[in-house]
């Protein structure tokens, strides 16, 4: 059984590329049993659609709408962390690599 951390990591990875069968099954199993991760994964899906729409509508008309866009990936990752924080409820100080970049202005 995957941990919640593993599961959410896989869920976000699945947005970037197809997961290996084993990971996919593990993730699905976890989502069946864990409503928290189910919510996170649903949010991720919605977020990805939103990003795609934004990219398709907006400034990057020459680029293919995709979450492989570094900025979009950054946002997804940020959202994942936020969702995880909310889910855990406790303010854990185990932030690994929360880079403070100046990526505002949209």
Please choose, from the candidates 31, 24, 70, the residue with its C-alpha nearest in 3D space to the C-alpha of residue 51: 70
Least distance from Zn ion to the Cβ atom of residue 36, Å: 5
Q: Name the residue nearer to Zn ion (CB basis): 32 or 64.
A: 32
Given a contact cutoff of 8 angstroms between Cβ atoms, the answer to whether 42 and 50 are in contact is no
Instruction: Tell whether residue 51 is a contact of Zn ion (CB under 5 A).
Output: no
Binding residue (CB under 5 A) for Zn ion from 10, 11, 15, 34: 34
Token digits of residue 106: 């949209």
Site size toward Zn ion, by CB under 5 A: 4
Q: Which of 4, 19, 50, 84 binds Zn ion (CB under 5 A)?
A: 4
Residue 69 exposed, middle or buried by CB count within 10 Å (0-12, 13-18, 19+): middle
If DSSP codes are grouped into helix, strand and coil, which group holds residue 101? coil
Token pair recorded at residue 71: 């900025």
Closer to Zn ion at the Cβ: 8 or 55? 8
Alpha-carbon distance of 41 to 31, in angstroms, equals 8
* Stretch of 19-27, 30-38, 51-59, 92-100 contacting Zn ion, by CB under 5 A: 30-38
Instruction: Say whether residue 39 binds Zn ion (CB under 5 A).
Output: no
Interacting residue ranges for Zn ion, rule: CB under 5 A: 4, 7, 34, 37
């Amino acid at each position: 059984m995957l941990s919640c951390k593993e599961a959410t990591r896989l869920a976000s990875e699945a947005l970037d590329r197809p997961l290996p069968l084993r990971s996919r099954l593990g993730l699905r199993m976890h989502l069946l049993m864990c409503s928290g991760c189910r919510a996170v994964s649903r949010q991720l899906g919605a977020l990805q659609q939103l990003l795609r729409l934004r990219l398709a509508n907006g400034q990057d008309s020459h680029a293919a709408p995709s979450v492989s866009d570094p900025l979009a990936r950054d946002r997804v990752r940020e959202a994942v962390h936020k969702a995880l924080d909310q889910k855990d409820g406790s303010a854990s100080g185990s932030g690994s690599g929360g880079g403070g970049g100046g990526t505002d202005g949209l």
